[in-house]
Structure 1
Amino acid sequence: MFPARVVAGAPLALVILALSGCSSHWGCTDTTAERGEAGVGVRIEDASGRPLGVTAEVVDWRLEPHPQVPSEGDQVHFRFRFDGADETSGPAVDACAVDKERVALGCRTVYSYQAFGPNGDLTGDDWLAVEHPDRVAGVLLIPNDQSYVGRTCEQDIKDGGGPHPPQPAGPGDRL
């Protein structure tokens, strides 16, 4: 049998293991946010759905060949603006070229740090390559902040979990 000291110390050892996070994944839960309503201008929200006090908008867009790969034909060149964002570590949103039925033809994540300008004017531009540029009817932004996804419980049972943004939008998604 076990000595009395070992038996008496067993509950304390179990408490220490439980508090250190080594015993189980009891406290680790993941939640994925619902995708917000896409628009030309959006109020950016965190993974819990709370507004960040930052807005983003598509200033304009046009079809034209990309200067570095003109042989690939027309692509979507769009300009965007972030208001209320920190220039170095602000939020990010998905930008999608859509057809007239708001079906995504191509998407990419744009970050507020890509936007810069004089007097705090946080304006930037980017390109979207789409298979059928003639079907593009507009460029929309999705309000969910994509700047930090965080680790999931599956990746890190001790420090993972919590709210996560929705999966980034992609071709074929209806916005």
Structure 2
Amino acid sequence: MFPARVLAGVPLALVVLALSGCSSLWSCTDTTAKRGEAGVKVQVEDTSGRPLGVTAEVVDWRLEPHPQVPSQGDRVHFHYRFDGADEISGPAVEACAVDKKRLVLGCQTVYSSQAFGPDGALTGDDWLAVEHPEQVAGVLLIPNDQSYDRRTCDQDIKDGGGTHPPKPAGMGDQL
């Protein structure tokens, strides 16, 4: 169909196009959102820091053995509420057990879609396992929405990139 000389030049032509900037349509940058101020009650915000019109709140918490593994000792059992969230595809926030200095002892993500209730007030409960439960002074929520994290440039140079939620809080982080 095509002479061998023409086909041999195709890879070279693609390299020239890529180096000439034709691939700049696929320029990809990743950024990470700044972590919002943690609190017992927070306005959930998108990766730009704009409120989503949803509040998340730690209603109460206590130390007690988990009923399925009581031999493992006390865990942090907390109840939370999302107001204004969509039951199906609503936001998610990090819940963190902290000590008196607001240093993280353990965290996990809680999803509004796992909560239930009438009229947009979705409630749920969860458990946090921490190494030293006796040090827990409270449970705080980090307001950044964790429910949607787009693909990174490394994963997909064409469709990836953009602003991503902040990295999850780790042990010893100050909230």
The residue that corresponds to 1:108 in the other structure is 108
Query: Paired residue for 2:91?
Result: 91
CA drift at 1:115: 1.1
Give deviations 1:30-78, integer Å, cap 9, x for gaps: 1100111000000000011111110000000000000000000000000
Q: Does structure 1 retain, via aligned residues, the 8 Å contact 2:85–2:120?
A: no
| C-alpha separation in 2, matches of 1:45 and 1:97 | 21
Contact conserved, 1:25 with 1:157, CA < 8 A, in 2?
Answer: no
Counterpart in 1 of 2:150? Answer: 150
Verify the 8 A CA contact 1:80 1:125 in the aligned structure 2.
Answer: yes
Question: Quick one: which amino acid aligns to residue 28 of structure 1?
Answer: C
Amino acid at match of 1:109: T
Cross-structure match for 2:76: 76
Equivalent position of 2:10 in the other structure? none
How many percent identity over aligned positions? 78
- The TM-score normalised by the length of structure 1 is 0.86
Q: Does 1:136 align with 2:116?
A: no
Deviation at 1:121, TM superposition (A): 3.0
Q: Which runs of 5+ in 2 are unaligned?
A: 6-12
Shift >6 Å, 4+ stretches: none
- Give me the CA root mean square deviation: 2.3
Distance (Å, rounded) in 2 between the aligned partners of 1:27 and 1:158: 8
Match of 2:53 in 1: 53
The alignment's TM-score, normalised by the length of structure 2, stands at: 0.86
How many pairs does the alignment contain? Answer: 163
